[in-house]
Amino acid sequence: MSVSPAAPAHAAVSASPPTQAELLDFVRSAVADAELIASLPLDPEGRTWVRLDGPGGSEAWLIGWPPGTGTGWHDHADSVGAFMTASGELKENSLAVRLPTDGWTTLELTEGVDRERRLTTGQGRAFGRHHVHEVLNESTDGHAISVHAYYPPLPRIRRYSRTGHTLRLEQVERPEDWQ
């Protein structure tokens, strides 16, 4: 995994916080920047990323996904976000249910809450606060590259394990854990 310093790519100044639609517009614009996408160093074994300046003070990332890698189940706490695949294909598994924000460690999920999306080059989505998902590159032989943006900048990420219908909170990460 490699981290590069923030780059002033695709920054925009806004008087109000960016909306989910504006974050999606930002990732779409970044994905269309072939030079930016080609600048990401790719590692055959671990995800790589470069931080970008997002619109209106948002946090944004250009991420490389080697074959067979993924995030595990997580959410972005109080941040809204958007992401789009720049090359390859990503699979997003998500839960169509609003989880309690705090005060729990184990939840039993009901039938019918699972959602799956396959996002090929140029496809993306926006999401709201407390959106629980995992993102995967299921390819056996090709990298995927994506652009992600969040507002407010990620205050924390909650990581979960999932066994059947049981979702368990495993860890809470703060920015200092990944920057």
pLDDT tens for 42-53 read 999 999 999 999
Which residue would you say has higher pLDDT here, 14 or 105? 105
Residues 6+ apart with CB under 8 A from 16: 56
For 66, residues 6+ apart whose C-beta sits below 8 A from its C-beta are 42, 43, 44, 45, 46, 47, 137, 143
Rg (CA), the chain: 16
What is the DSSP track for 96-117? SSPPPSSS-SEEEPPTT-EEEE
Mean pLDDT of the chain: 90
Share of the chain above pLDDT 70, in %: 91
The pLDDT value recorded for residue 98 is 81
Alpha-carbon distance of 56 to 90, in angstroms, equals 27
Residue 30 DSSP symbol: H
Q: How many CA atoms lie within 13 A of 73 on its CB side?
A: 17
Q: Residue 62 is which amino acid?
A: L
Report pLDDT for 179.
Answer: 62
Least confident of 3-17, 89-103, 115-129: 3-17
Both structure tokens of 87: 């090359």
Looking at residue 1, its pLDDT comes to: 35
Q: Answer for the pair 107, 163: CB distance below 8 angstroms, yes or no.
A: no
Helix (H) or strand (E) holding 20, with range, is: helix 20-31
Among 86-90, 130-134, 172-176, top mean pLDDT goes to 86-90
Per-residue pLDDT tens over the stretch 63-102: 999 999 999 999 998 899 999 999 999 999 999 988 877 7
Tell me the two tokens of residue 165.
């219908």
- The Cβ of residue 101 has, within 10 Å, a number of other Cβ atoms equal to 12
The pLDDT tens digits for 134-159 are 999 999 999 999 999 999 999 899 99
pLDDT for 177 equals 81
